[in-house]
């Protein structure tokens, strides 16, 4: 292995002087001190077998475009892909606004002193509150699953209980996120996730199974309307009533686009509503254009 320091043309912070300054700032002598807590079996030994970088921008652009041209984009065909990220028409105005320097960030915006941003977020909260039929809409979270997990933990704090009941046919990725935020036993306030049966012919929540699953330990009942498989939930109001009768919090996961024709969650008594903002003018962006809402 060469003793020469690794400097990558795409990563300015790989310059030795910059790396040294960053390490001094966080108070460590070597990057290995930061990585030491990662178990050895989870780390890749040695260097990755990566091709040499293409230094010229034109060469890099041609290379990446050649890879992209092998596939077909969702804009070229009628796409039925979904499961948390969907193909929607995005008006040019959305791209114009989100591309402005006041909003465009590499990851997530921090604390703002720009009153224009506060105004924009106030307008967002107001419009979402009207759409969902709630009085309070909080700041967005990472995605739908994260918002649902946060709502479950909120319900546990409100009720002092430690179990969330949800449909067995929930999307696997969303269920995984909810479990990650609720179930790890080393976390303060461990919450058990309990799936309940759905009707096999409709995919809707089996109300009899839900009644049997509810107990004095139930902090929240989570359901989706429309459901993950596209089915509407005509028993939404009854699900909320059953949760309330047990002293639990009802949480409805909704697609904001559907609320143009489907009753909003506030109208049928859901205590908390969550979902994803991606359908509201955000490109699919390889699955990265996500942002969860909670009301």
CA 100 to chain centre: 23
Q: Could you tell me if residue 76 is inside a domain?
A: no
Q: Could you tell me if residue 11 is inside a domain?
A: yes
With cut-offs at 50, 70 and 90, classify the pLDDT of residue 3: low
117-144 mean pLDDT: 91
Question: At 250, which CATH number?
Answer: 3.40.640.10
Q: How many domains does the chain divide into?
A: 2
Contact, 204 vs 227, CB < 8 A?
yes
Last residue of a domain, one of 18, 37, 71: 71
User: d(Cα 251, Cα 253) in Å, to the nearest integer?
Assistant: 7
What string of DSSP letters covers 74-87? Answer: TTTS-----SS---
Of the candidates 23, 6, 9, 24, the one whose C-alpha atom is nearest the C-alpha of residue 32 is 23
User: d(Cα 258, Cα 265) in Å, to the nearest integer?
Assistant: 11
Q: What is the pLDDT of residues 111-125, one digit of tens each?
A: 555 666 778 888 999
Omega of the bond leading into 226 within 30 degrees of 0 (cis)? yes
Of the candidates 186, 188, 206, the one whose C-alpha atom is nearest the C-alpha of residue 196 is 206
Q: Could you tell me if residue 162 is inside a domain?
A: yes
**What residues does 150 pair with on adjacent strands?**
none
Co-location of 134 and 230 in the same domain:
yes
Contact, 250 vs 118, CB < 8 A?
no
pLDDT of residue 107: 63
Q: Could you tell me if residue 14 is inside a domain?
A: yes
Q: Could you tell me if residue 90 is inside a domain?
A: no
> Strands 163-167, 292-294: parallel, antiparallel or unpaired by DSSP?
unpaired
Co-location of 42 and 182 in the same domain:
no
Please determine, for residue 267, whether its predicted confidence score (pLDDT) is greater than 90.
yes
Co-location of 154 and 65 in the same domain:
no
Q: Could you tell me if residue 107 is inside a domain?
A: no
User: d(Cα 49, Cα 19) in Å, to the nearest integer?
Assistant: 22
User: d(Cα 280, Cα 90) in Å, to the nearest integer?
Assistant: 8
User: d(Cα 112, Cα 132) in Å, to the nearest integer?
Assistant: 26
User: d(Cα 205, Cα 168) in Å, to the nearest integer?
Assistant: 9
Q: What is the pLDDT of residues 198-252, one digit of tens each?
A: 999 999 999 999 999 999 999 999 999 999 999 999 999 999 999 999 999 999 9
Q: What is the pLDDT of residues 159-201, one digit of tens each?
A: 999 999 999 999 999 999 999 999 887 777 789 999 999 999 9
Co-location of 176 and 233 in the same domain:
yes
Contact, 250 vs 154, CB < 8 A?
no
Q: Which range of residues forms the domain containing residue 49?
A: 1-71
Q: Could you tell me if residue 89 is inside a domain?
A: no
What string of DSSP letters covers 35-68? Answer: HTTS-GGGS--S---PPPP--SHHHHHHHHHHHH
User: d(Cα 19, Cα 288) in Å, to the nearest integer?
Assistant: 28
User: What's the sign of the alpha-carbon dihedral 247, 253, 258, 260?
Assistant: positive
Q: Could you tell me if residue 98 is inside a domain?
A: no
Complete edge-to-edge strand list for the sheet that includes strand 249-253: 192-196, 163-167, 218-224, 249-253, 272-276, 292-294
């Amino acid at each position: 292995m060469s003793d020469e320091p690794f400097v990558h043309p795409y990563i300015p912070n790989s310059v030795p002087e910059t790396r040294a300054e960053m390490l001094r700032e966080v108070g460590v002598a070597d990057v290995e001190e930061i990585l030491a807590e990662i178990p050895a079996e989870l780390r890749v030994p040695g260097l990755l077998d990566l091709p040499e970088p293409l230094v010229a921008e034109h060469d890099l652009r041609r290379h990446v475009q050649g890879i992209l041209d092998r596939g077909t984009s969702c804009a070229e065909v009628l796409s039925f892909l979904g499961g948390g990220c969907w193909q929607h028409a995005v008006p040019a105005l959305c791209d114009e606004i989100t591309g402005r320097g006041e909003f465009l960030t590499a990851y997530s915006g921090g604390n703002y002193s720009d009153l224009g941003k506060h105004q924009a977020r106030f307008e967002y909260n107001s419009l979402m509150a009207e759409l969902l039929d709630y009085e309070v809409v909080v700041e967005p979270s990472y995605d739908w699953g994260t918002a649902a997990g946060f709502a479950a933990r909120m319900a546990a704090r409100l009720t002092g209980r430690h179990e969330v009941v949800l449909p067995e046919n929930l999307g696997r990725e969303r269920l995984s996120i909810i479990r990650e935020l609720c179930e790890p036993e080393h976390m303060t306030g461990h919450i058990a996730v309990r799936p309940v049966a759905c009707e096999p012919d409709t995919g809707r929540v089996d109300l009899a199974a839900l009644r049997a699953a509810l107990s004095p330990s139930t902090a929240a009942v989570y359901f989706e309307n429309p459901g993950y498989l596209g089915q509407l939930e005509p028993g939404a109001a009854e699900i909320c009533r059953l949760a309330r009768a047990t002293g639990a919090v009802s949480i409805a996961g909704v697609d904001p686009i559907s609320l143009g024709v489907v009753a909003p969650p506030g109208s049928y008594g859901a205590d908390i509503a969550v979902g994803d903002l991606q359908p509201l003018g955000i490109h699919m962006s390889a699955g990265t254009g996500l942002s969860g809402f909670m009301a």
